[in-house]
Amino acid sequence: MARPRPDQLLAKLHSRLRDWTPMQPQTISNPLNEPPCTLPSMNVDLILSALSTAEQGDTTQFFAIARDAVLSDSHMQSLISTRLMAVLGDDPSILPAREKNPDDKLAADAIRDAISRLPDFKRGVCLPLLLGHIWPVSVIERTYKPATTSGLQFDWGTIRHVPFHLLRWQDGMMHIQHVDPVTRLPTARWFRPGSAYIAHRAHLLPTPDCWGGSMRSLVWWFFFKTLIREWWVRWLDRYGSPFPVAKVPKEDSKSRDMLERALRMGTRIGGLVVSTATQVELTQAASGSADAHQRAFEAINAEMSRAVLGQETSSIAKPTGLGSGVSDSQSQVRADIRAHDAAFLAETLREHLFRPWLQLNGFTGQPPKIAFGQEAEEVGDTAEVLARLKQAGIRLAPAALGTLSERFGLELELDPQPAAPARMLSLSAGEGLDIERLILKSASPDDAMHRLALHFPQLAPQRAALLIEEAALGGAWAAL
């Protein structure tokens, strides 16, 4: 076997270094490379063809249909935005993996500072990854650059989202289409994503990514909704306005022919010139004739809401009845989906973004946790439980601070324990009798205080004053 030449070894070494510490981004996003709009030719055959080719690995047409569906449906846009904003609305908190480990605290502080140096952590990193909760997968490319902060070797460089139309599943494995950096046009070359790429999946379906994930059902509902909308508009165009009904005498064929020609030629209600014996009436379509279209339209919107949000009360207002509990039940569903989205996103960031950065810079601590907090009602419920535990005499253990910090989205710590009060000296039975005799033999309260300080120096002044007050109330110096 021939030994590799020095230039071949150098190229291989450069490739390895590029894979370990990518410096230049390979992803080029050019809007002109997007597939053309599919709406003008959308029909059942187009969707079935796109799904069939996607199942074979070519998802270009399917992702184009999904793109057009989201851009053309305001209800779907609102649903997706609502789900993503439930996580992005909170500022993330970076917490040490182990509270008492100094290396983990250093790692958490370093990640917190590195995130603050990114131009836009939420929009540039979290938002593209969260798209993988609706789309079957979402991929970002992250690069490094030489660090300008003391103590660091590398810092995060450019982070870009890989457009969906550049993805393909060849031989069952995900590949990315190469884009020429000069012409900014896609080439015929495909490559497997290396360590510079982060693929995020958060749906719970067991199907392969190329089958479409949750977006597959949304595409069908969008298609049905488009058809119903078109049929509804046609119905309104034809029957929404009053239409003329002409009545002519049976023997007047000339007037009948003239009216038929006029009605065929007219697309909107205009004037008609008829004889005095001819009657023309404007008849309105039944008011409930369009209800079927409206009910179908609302049913499809409700199905879309269930597919994206898990419920429909937060997107479609419906009367549920007093005390039905439907609102509370579906609010819990929304909270569960939000917790799921935050947990999956935090795991991807921790393992695929934070850990490599810490290893490159020589940190030995575990990657920190990232928490997005809870809903306001959940935070209030947790605080109420803690208050009740304190009233019951149950003290919070230091080990529970990590869990509470993740729930609140804030780094919590225990207040220092107050110093225990000094124990009062107890008196024996004999000493108690001697004090009582001494007080009763005293001429006045001042004399009693002086005698107690002289004969019982171990007695606290506050205790002595209390004993003298009790004696005075009992009538010890009533004659004074």
433 and 402 belong to one structural domain? no
Q: Residue 320 above 70 pLDDT?
A: no
CA atoms within 13 A on the CB side of 460: 9
Listed range (101-105, 146-150, 248-252) with the worst mean pLDDT: 248-252
Q: Please indicate, yes or no, if residue 257 is contained in any of the structural domains.
A: no
Q: Please indicate, yes or no, if residue 130 is contained in any of the structural domains.
A: yes
Pairwise CA distance, residues 288 & 307, whole Å: 30
| Nearest of 91, 117, 99 to residue 368 by alpha carbon | 99
Long-range contacts of 408-414 (CB under 8 A, 24+ apart): 408/371, 408/373, 408/374, 408/379, 408/382, 409/90, 409/91, 409/92, 409/93, 409/371, 409/372, 409/373, 409/374, 410/93, 410/373, 411/93, 411/95
pLDDT at position 139 is: 96
408 and 458 belong to one structural domain? no
Does residue 167 or residue 383 have the better pLDDT? 167
Q: Please indicate, yes or no, if residue 353 is contained in any of the structural domains.
A: no
Over residues 324-335, the pLDDT tens digits come to 555 566 667 778
405 and 451 belong to one structural domain? no
- Average pLDDT in the 196-225 region? 92
174 and 133 belong to one structural domain? yes
Over residues 45-57, the pLDDT tens digits come to 999 999 999 999 9
Over residues 183-209, the pLDDT tens digits come to 999 999 999 998 899 999 998 889 999
Structural tokens at position 420: 């225990």
| Percentage of residues in the chain having pLDDT higher than 90 | 38
pLDDT at position 419 is: 47
Q: Please indicate, yes or no, if residue 253 is contained in any of the structural domains.
A: no
pLDDT at position 293 is: 72
Q: Residue 336 above 60 pLDDT?
A: yes
Which conformational region is residue 42 in: left (phi greater than 0), alpha (psi within -120 to 50 degrees), or beta? beta
pLDDT at position 73 is: 92
CB 367 within 8 A of CB 97: yes
110 and 184 belong to one structural domain? yes
| Nearest of 63, 62, 65 to residue 53 by alpha carbon | 62
Q: Please indicate, yes or no, if residue 298 is contained in any of the structural domains.
A: no
- 311 burial level (CB within 10 Å; 0-12, 13-18, 19+): buried
> Which residues are registered as beta bridge partners of 154?
146
Q: Residue 425 above 50 pLDDT?
A: no
Listed range (100-104, 112-116, 298-302, 438-442) with the worst mean pLDDT: 438-442
151 and 98 belong to one structural domain? yes
- Average pLDDT in the 433-438 region? 73
Task: Tell me which of 159, 186, 218 is where a domain ends.
Answer: 218
Q: What is the mean pLDDT of the chain?
A: 80
124 and 157 belong to one structural domain? yes
pLDDT at position 175 is: 95
408 and 434 belong to one structural domain? no
pLDDT band of residue 427 (cuts 50, 70, 90) is: very low
Q: Residue 407 above 90 pLDDT?
A: no
Does residue 95 or residue 469 have the better pLDDT? 95
Structural domain of residue 388, as residue ranges? 377-415
49 and 96 belong to one structural domain? yes
Q: Please indicate, yes or no, if residue 303 is contained in any of the structural domains.
A: no
Structural tokens at position 357: 């950065």
463 and 411 belong to one structural domain? no
438 and 407 belong to one structural domain? no
Structural tokens at position 370: 């990232």
Pairing mode, strands 279-283 and 243-247:
antiparallel
Q: Please indicate, yes or no, if residue 480 is contained in any of the structural domains.
A: no
Domain count of the fold of the chain: 3
Q: Please indicate, yes or no, if residue 42 is contained in any of the structural domains.
A: yes
404 and 468 belong to one structural domain? no
Structural tokens at position 3: 């030994």
Task: Tell me which of 218, 237, 261 is where a domain ends.
Answer: 218
Structural tokens at position 429: 């039975």
pLDDT band of residue 443 (cuts 50, 70, 90) is: confident
Task: Tell me which of 218, 252, 279 is where a domain ends.
Answer: 218
